[in-house]
């Protein structure tokens, strides 16, 4: 491992195979519902799912530690490479940020509790999910409860929890009228539940929802991947910029860099820096 750590494309063959199958069958059920009008895009989605790998980057002495959980958008499906995903863009922008990415293709909110399993503390958790719940018609009351439990659990893992649900799924080229209207309505419900959970548990929301006339993914089709459902490289860049601006992430991580500086003075016997030992790290 280099001084800055190495980017790792996480490979868990059996788990990824099952996740890809679940995502694919979810898409199949959607296509059947739509009467086959999006069948050719299903083929594109299957190819993107096979290519996608979540990027993680462990660092030996990071300034901050980030846990990413979620669905294919957390994995970076649709991007040309893991480096163009949200995790990859974060790794490039913040070289002292350690990243553990547990995202899985096809995951719904009720599956994120497993991704959040463990007792290890992180500085921040990024939750990227919701699109599969919208598309696969997860019951609304169940979805509200799922989001609440995930947000509460994420707050147990980190002080800063960023909820970044998919945008207006109804605007995705994958769908046509009248299903665009239904998916937009369900997307509104998703975002309402996310805002409510964030308010209850002290999390931060990254809002990607736009009505059709204001949606950059409608105005600029190149932001969509070839399947018309996931973001492209350029689309993930738009999401990344929203994350930076809405969470003030550069400022937060700059402060973390300053707090981490005393760690170079760590006690060689304990490996604990004065800042950490005093509760300021």
CB 246 within 8 A of CB 225: no
In the predicted model, what is the mean pLDDT of residues 248-275? Answer: 65
Instruction: Kindly report, residue by residue over 57-101, the tens digit of the pLDDT.
Output: 999 999 999 999 999 999 999 999 999 999 999 999 999 999 999
CB 236 within 8 A of CB 92: no
* 196 part of a folded domain: yes
* 276 part of a folded domain: no
CB 75 within 8 A of CB 115: no
Closest alpha carbon to 31 in 160, 118, 135? 135
pLDDT of 250 higher than 90: yes
pLDDT of residue 44: 61
Residue 165's φ and ψ, nearest 5 degrees, are -70, 160
Cα Rg of the chain (Å, integer): 19
Token digits of residue 176: 């046509």
Find the CATH number of the domain harbouring 107: 3.40.50.1110
* 1 part of a folded domain: no
pLDDT of 247 higher than 80: yes
* 273 part of a folded domain: no
| Helix 13-33 × helix 39-51 angle, to 10° | 170
pLDDT of residue 158: 97
Count of domains in the chain? 1
Q: What is the model's pTM?
A: 0.81
Q: Which residue in the block uniquely carries the two structure tokens 């096979």?
A: 50
In the predicted model, what is the mean pLDDT of residues 115-134? Answer: 97
Closest alpha carbon to 186 in 133, 124, 224? 133
The domain in which residue 244 lies consists of 15-259
Using pLDDT thresholds of 50, 70 and 90, give the confidence band for residue 43. Answer: low
* 207 part of a folded domain: yes
* 10 part of a folded domain: no
Grouping H, G, I as helix, E, B as strand and the rest as coil, residue 99 is strand
In the predicted model, what is the mean pLDDT of residues 219-228? Answer: 95
How, if at all, do strands 160-163 and 124-128 pair?
Answer: parallel
Q: How far apart are CA 73 and CA 107, in angstroms?
A: 10
Determine which helix (DSSP H) or strand (DSSP E) holds 249, and give its type and residue range: helix 249-260
Closest alpha carbon to 27 in 11, 38, 18? 38
pLDDT of residue 2: 42
* 271 part of a folded domain: no
Q: What is the DSSP letter of 224?
A: B
pLDDT of 205 higher than 90: yes
In the predicted model, what is the mean pLDDT of residues 113-129? Answer: 97
* 75 part of a folded domain: yes
pLDDT of residue 45: 62
């Amino acid at each position: 491992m280099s001084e800055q750590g190495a980017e790792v494309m996480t490979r868990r063959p059996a788990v990824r195979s099952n996740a890809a199958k679940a995502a694919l069958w979810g898409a199949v059920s959607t296509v059947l519902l739509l009467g086959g009008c999006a069948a050719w895009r299903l083929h594109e989605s299957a190819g993107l799912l096979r290519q996608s790998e979540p990027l993680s980057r462990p660092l030996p002495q990071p300034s901050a530690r980030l846990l990413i959980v979620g669905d294919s958008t957390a994995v970076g499906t649709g991007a040309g490479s893991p480096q163009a995903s949200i995790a990859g863009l974060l790794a490039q922008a913040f070289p002292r940020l350690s990243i553990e990415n547990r995202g899985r293709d096809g995951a719904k909110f009720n599956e994120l509790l497993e991704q959040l399993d463990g007792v290890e503390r992180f500085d921040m958790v990024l939750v990227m999910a919701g699109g599969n719940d919208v598309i696969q018609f997860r019951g609304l009351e169940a979805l509200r409860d799922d989001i609440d439990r995930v947000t509460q659990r994420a707050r147990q893992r980190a002080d800063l929890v960023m909820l970044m649900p998919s945008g207006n799924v109804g605007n995705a080229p994958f769908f046509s009228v009248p299903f665009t209207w239904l998916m937009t309505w369900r997307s509104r419900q998703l975002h309402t539940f996310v805002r409510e959970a964030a308010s209850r548990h002290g999390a931060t929301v990254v809002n990607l929802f736009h009505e059709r006339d204001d949606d950059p993914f409608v105005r600029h089709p190149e932001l969509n991947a070839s399947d018309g459902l996931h973001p492209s490289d350029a689309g993930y860049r738009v999401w990344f910029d929203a994350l930076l601006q809405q969470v003030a992430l550069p400022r937060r991580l700059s402060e973390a860099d300053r707090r981490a500086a005393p760690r170079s003075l760590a006690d060689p016997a304990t490996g604990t820096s004065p800042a950490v030992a005093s509760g300021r790290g």
